[in-house]
Amino acid sequence: MEGEDLRLKNDIQDVKDQNELLEFRILELEERERRSPAINFQQLHFPEELSPLQIYCEAEGVTEIVISELMKKLDILGDNANLSNEEQVVVIHARTVLTLAEKWLESIEVTKSALQQKMLDIESEKDLFSKQKGYLDEELDYRKQSMDQAHKAAQPNNRYPDPGMTGFRKSRSA
């Protein structure tokens, strides 16, 4: 009899410990979900005929400059024999800076696309965590019910179930 009491008390303690772990895990998931704001990037697509720099210029309201034409003119100016050496170097440097700006903007777009894919992955993971949280909530409810039942069963006057009754009958007094 005492062995059964001890076993039931141990079972109750195990269920309490498991409940505590489940509640902690649920809190972790809720906190992670709360700290994960949705991030929306604007998607910019660069058509073949337009450079990234051209699109950004137009987005800033600079519409009178056509980058492809500017690059051609800089090439021509750089080759112009009427310019001094210093002027030719300045033109070549300007073209180089514009070319580097184009490459930099393209790399930014690649990075942005990778970040957008990562955000999709994170959203998918967030959905998975939400489902996991739901399962953990259900498991916690089940464990609490089990703990309540085990606690009731451990009560001294509710020990032995009566096969003919739906409830429990009181144990015999000595």
67, burial (CB in 10 Å: exposed 0-12, middle 13-18, buried 19+): buried
Q: Which residue has the higher pLDDT, 81 or 113?
A: 113
Q: What is the pLDDT of residue 96?
A: 85
Among 103, 106, 104, 102, which Cα is nearest to 44's? 106
- At 160, which helix (H) or strand (E)? strand 160-161
pLDDT band at residue 109 under the 50/70/90 scheme: confident
pLDDT band at residue 171 under the 50/70/90 scheme: very low
Residue 170 confidence (pLDDT) above 50: no
User: Phi, psi at residue 161, to the nearest 5°?
Assistant: -70, 140
Of all residues in the chain, the percent with pLDDT exceeding 70 is 78
- Round the average pLDDT of the chain to a whole number and report it: 77
pLDDT band at residue 33 under the 50/70/90 scheme: low
| pLDDT, average across residues 78-103 | 81
Q: What is the pLDDT of residue 19?
A: 79
Q: How far is CA 3 from CA 7, 10, 36, 131, 171, in A?
A: 6, 10, 49, 40, 17
Rounded Cα gap, residues 47 and 49, in angstroms: 6
Structure token pair of residue 122 = 């994170």
Residues 6 or more apart whose CB falls under 8 angstroms from that of 130 comprise 29, 33
Collapse the DSSP code of 43 into the 3-class scheme (helix H, G, I; strand E, B; otherwise coil) and give the result.
Answer: coil
Range of weakest confidence among 25-29, 101-105, 112-116, 123-127: 25-29
| pLDDT, average across residues 141-153 | 88
